[in-house]
Amino acid sequence: MAILEKLFRLMAEKNASDIFVSAGAPITMKINGNAMPVNPQVLSVEDSKRICYEILKPHQIEKFEKELELNLSFPIQGVGNFRVNMMHQKSSVASVVRYISTDVPAFDTLGVPNVLRQVIMEKRGLILVVGATGSGKSTTLAAMMDFRNMMKSGHILTFEDPVEFMFQSKKCIVNQREIGNDSHSFHEAMRNAMRQAPDLILVGEIRDVETMKSAMMYALSGHLCLATLHANNSYHALNRIINFFPLEQRAVLLSDLGVSLRCIISQRLVKNIEGTRSPAVEILMNTGNIVDLISEGRVPEIKEAMEKSMTPGSQTFEQDLFRLIQAGKITIQEGLANADSATNLSLLVGNSGMVEAGTNDLPTKPGSGGPNFSEFKIS
């Protein structure tokens, strides 16, 4: 068995999110946001290349050596799916692997707001799930899609690079297309989507203006479209979308976005007192005056409207972090570290009658600072 495959199985056993293989450092695994070596051996250039190449087929090696980058999915039946990114760094081969569990998570296990159950049942519109790498975007999306799959008939069509969670058709027919294997490109796959009678379309990630145009076109033509975007929050996501487009196209963009957007779900994973992580979620519902603010390009005013509860169903990061603090799930210090506005969160804490921020932090459970497991053998 290849060393990487052994590491994949170890990742699943320890519920690790990522693993890093790089020359000049030990193989390192990340669990609950904490990174630690799986053993003390520092990899040589030869070690790193050998470990990475063991799982590649000849055509993948050829592509990697030509393009210097490679993304692939490595499924292990009964264990999970592993999203592998291989790259060159300092003239050596390195890889970063993300573990995707085989089991599609249920809403009840995630701790995300119930309003997402309503959002995913919409008939049409654009839903964006945003956050940094490793923030749980894919997991939340998978839970939302599987909820609809269980509750409403239709056709779910996905475009992913690579496919992560594997869905079983329940009330819905689910077709998952992996870019590179099932279609040559996102643009080619998306161009043919309307001929495939979808009710819900998932675009794995919006990376450019063409993908953004297609996602909005699906939403405007009466379909529900889900997509991810790398952004810190709703405000950042809207600015990223606007900046995809040249100035002369932005008036049309803002008008279309105001009509097509249903909501933006922003997520962060924060350390809880159990030593694991809990999601903190910001939700921007595109209702009422938010439609006007987006259509008129008044993006800076959106945060204030959310804070004043002028948009039913919406919540800021500060409001959700405060909920986690009140529930005793996270410390005030952790909440402040993850807030967009530490001042606003401090005001929520102070006005609630709790002690001032930073004075009642609960300790995390002993031993929650990092994983412990037997030394891994590289041979």
Predicted local distance difference test score (pLDDT) of residue 161? 85
Q: How far is CA 177 from the centre of its chain?
A: 18
Give how far Cα 152 sits from Cα of 74, 142, 199, 200, Å.
31, 15, 10, 11
Q: How far is CA 188 from the centre of its chain?
A: 24
Does the N-terminal peptide bond of residue 162 adopt cis geometry, omega within 30 degrees of 0? yes
Residue 331's contacts (CB-CB under 8 Å, 6 or more residues apart) are 273, 325, 361, 362, 364
160/154 Cα distance (integer angstroms) = 19
Bridge-based pairing of strands 18-21 and 28-31 is: antiparallel
Nearest one of 212, 370, 344, 224 to 282, comparing CA atoms: 344
End-to-end CA distance of the chain: 11
Predicted local distance difference test score (pLDDT) of residue 318? 96
3-state secondary structure of 217: helix
Predicted local distance difference test score (pLDDT) of residue 358? 46
Predicted local distance difference test score (pLDDT) of residue 378? 66
110/124 Cα distance (integer angstroms) = 25
Q: DSSP assignment, residue 46?
A: H
Q: How far is CA 194 from the centre of its chain?
A: 26
Digit-by-digit pLDDT tens for the chain (379 residues) are 889 999 999 999 999 999 999 999 999 999 998 999 999 999 999 999 999 999 999 999 999 999 999 988 898 988 988 999 999 999 999 999 999 887 888 889 999 999 999 999 999 999 999 999 889 999 999 999 999 999 999 999 999 988 888 899 999 999 999 988 899 988 899 989 999 999 999 998 999 999 999 999 999 999 999 999 999 999 999 999 999 999 999 999 999 999 999 999 999 999 999 999 999 999 999 988 899 999 999 999 998 888 876 667 899 999 999 999 999 999 999 999 999 999 999 999 999 887 654 444 544 454 444 455 555 666 5
Q: Exposed (0-12), middle (13-18) or buried (19+): which is 259, by Cβ within 10 Å? A: middle
Bridge-based pairing of strands 261-271 and 125-130 is: parallel
Helix (H) or strand (E) holding 277, with range, is strand 277-285
Q: DSSP assignment, residue 246?
A: -
Domains of the chain as residue ranges with CATH:
3-101 (3.30.450.90), 107-315 (3.40.50.300)
| pTM for this model (two decimals) | 0.86
322/336 Cα distance (integer angstroms) = 9
